[in-house]
Amino acid sequence: MDKQSKIYVAGHRGLVGSAIWNNLKQRGYTNLVGRTHQELDLTNQQAVKDFFDQERPDGVVLAAAFVGGIMANSLYRADFIMQNMLMQCNVIGESYRHGVEKLLFLGSTCIYPKNAPQPMKEDCLLTSPLEYTNEEYAIAKIAGLKMCESYNLQYGTNYIAVMPTNLYGPGDNFHLENSHVMPAMMRKVYLAKLIHDGDWDAIARDLDIRPVEGINGSAPRDTIIAILRSYGISDNKVTLWGTGTPLREFLWSEDMADASVHVLLNVDFKDIIGIEKYSSVHYGAATDGAVDRNHSAGRGGAIPALGEIRNCHINVGTGKELTIRELSELVVKAVGFEGKVEFDASKPDGTMRKLIDVEKLHRLGWTHKVELEEGVGRLFDWYRQSLA
């Protein structure tokens, strides 16, 4: 795609989507299209069709998703599988019907089995059971990457799926009910510090911007103290879920955006499977490179000339990990918290280890830039600025 190509970024206001949007603009790709959820409900098939009829994008980045942490995954299991499946089916289906040149699908490393060998290579997909607490989200994302893979094999499309590790960065979700581990931890530590400092003006600003279960900064102080205590936040003390021993990998969202745009602009399906003759199998003697929409040598899930092809997605991460307890120490340092952090072992840990193998990504020409300690400090700076 050239710099005049029209690129639709689904989820352009989200953590990763906004970073991808900005990365594309910085590279000179200014013909970008975005719609908020209020403007376009991606679970509505007719609305998505009407959008593609009107805009006819050359490229699509599918960064929109229904997401959340371990608590949200446990509470809203039906929403996690249904909403994500609907969005994926609608966007990928209309991309094919409208001849989109390139599609990038963003998934998650929760697609891998709970007890997968570490670090997790792309080939360990579907080799054993998933982690129960995020099974529905994982199944939806597996379906999405398989849609991309299957459209490529049957129709010769160029749809690429990337599976990022745990992400954090500007625009992160700090709502205590459904945020991921790092922003939730950071907000808890910050609020516990504010309670100890007696800075109730700052606490009120925080709750006005991000209410907790409908409680904002104008609520009585006793009500605020009670609701924060229910989330493990008290005077100079924070209680976090689990034992603190699970290992996690984290990637700065702007690094993820850079990796995504690198793949979108420089990596094709044939590069991932490492078989140059893939193009000739699908495109044949056509001189204009147009995809044959009516015939495929690969019906049934494989191209006989190439053998079985699967696990064509790309892991995106750092290849580095630390424990949740070690993460809490980095957060405490960034916030300047001098209180106590405890772990409630009666609460679930989730998957004990989720380190991914990033050899394929490195081979395709990209490595991360922001190390975790620097990134945690950057995230806290962004969070404080969001409260100004």
Q: How far apart are the first and last CA of the chain?
A: 40
Helix (H) or strand (E) holding 358: none
Q: For the chain, percent helix, then strand, then coil, each to nearest 5?
A: 45, 15, 40
Token digits for 119?
């670090």
What residues are annotated to the active site? 137
Measured distance CA(173)–CA(210) in Å, rounded: 10
Q: Where are the alpha helices (DSSP H) in the chain?
A: 15-26, 45-55, 70-75, 77-97, 135-155, 181-197, 200-209, 221-229, 253-266, 269-273, 278-283, 324-335, 359-363, 372-386
Q: Maximum distance among all alpha carbons in the chain?
A: 75
Of 154, 206, 163, nearest to 63 (Cα)? 163
Q: What phi and psi values does residue 102 have, to the nearest 5 degrees?
A: -145, 135
